[in-house]
Amino acid sequence: MNFVQAVQILADAGVEFAIIGGWSAIMHGSAHVTNDLDLCYSRTAVNLKRLADALTPFHPRPADFPPELPFIWDEQTLRGGTVFTLDTELGRIDLLAEVAGLGDWNELKKCCVLLPVFDREVWTLDLPSLIRAKRAAGRTKDLLVLPELESLLDAGSDSA
């Protein structure tokens, strides 16, 4: 996965998005390893067009989708769904219009911080909200990382 290039391409295209999931945890100091890039995105018409256009050169397709079946990637496809798990030439990218425990883009952005990463300034969940989202998702892989995230939160509180 070329996480750096994916984030740079989206940021340079003016896409409104926030990094969530494993990469958000890493941005907050986690030693967690992830094989995909999880993003929450704005569903405005302008943003859907920017998102579709930015990823088009990297041939996004639904993960594990049979190659013989046709798939059209554009803003209309994005408008028709809210969760996309995509295989791209950049690697696996998960797009979520809404995050469990936090809400859609408009609500989620209130829980984000702007961090300088990958030579860009990028939105990501703040640590308390990332913990809340992982707990709300309730998947084993999310629950297993909670102790580390909570210790990072406690360590940050101690230094403040």
Read off the DSSP letter of residue 42: -
Reported as a single tens digit per residue, the pLDDT across 26-84 is 999 999 888 999 999 999 999 999 999 999 999 999 999 998 999 999 999 999 999 99
Q: What is the pTM of this model?
A: 0.92
CA 102 – CA 111 distance, rounded (Å): 8
Domains of the chain, start order: 3-153 (3.30.460.40)
